[in-house]
Amino acid sequence: MAILEILEFPDPRLRTQAKPVAVVDDKLRQLIDDMFETMYDAPGVGLAATQINVHQRLVVIDVSEDKSQPLVFINPEITVLDDELNEYDEGCLSVPGFYETVTRPKRIQVNALDRNGEPFTLEPDGLLAVCIQHELDHLNGKLFVDYVSPVKRDRIRKKLEKQHRSQA
């Protein structure tokens, strides 16, 4: 397994639309394992392939305290189940050190393939529902900072650009 580089905002590659996964094979399962290792090391609770510059519809998530509930979503699709919304403070491995309140649908259904290519359906709530929506945004080239005002987004971008320059 390997720890992969996580792209950081405002890297334009984070805006790439991910393509559907064509084949679930050992190469993809190795990528999944590397993504989990990267996510746990960061540390985070979710990671989309887009964040590691792999533009396939693949997400890994584990919202458990003890890293015991790894979930894989290949070619995930969301359906909003009702109009009720919830607000959560969200952070992102691609926007390190920043948290903002984001409003998202409370109840969703997600259809996807697991790490073996088997279809499954979930109706998550709470943190898992938020995390799934957040990670699927990545697959569509969207970041949580897109939900905040342009002024806040610009401030975050400038701070991260300054950090990147000082690390170079």
Catalytic residue among 65, 77, 135, 161: 135
Q: Do 47 and 39 meet the contact criterion of CB atoms below 8 Å apart? A: yes
**How many Å apart are CA 78 and CA 56, to the nearest integer?**
16
Q: Is 119 left (phi over 0), alpha (psi -120 to 50) or beta?
A: beta
Cα atoms found within 13 Å of the Cα of residue 86, Cβ hemisphere only: 17
Backbone φ and ψ of 53, nearest 5°: 65, 30
122: number of Cβ within 10 Å = 16
Alpha carbon 42 to its chain centroid, in Å, reads 13
The annotation places the binding site for Fe cation at 92, 134, 138
Residue type, 26: D
Residue type, 149: S
**How many Å apart are CA 76 and CA 111, to the nearest integer?**
6
Residue 135 annotated as catalytic: yes
- List residues with catalytic annotation: 135
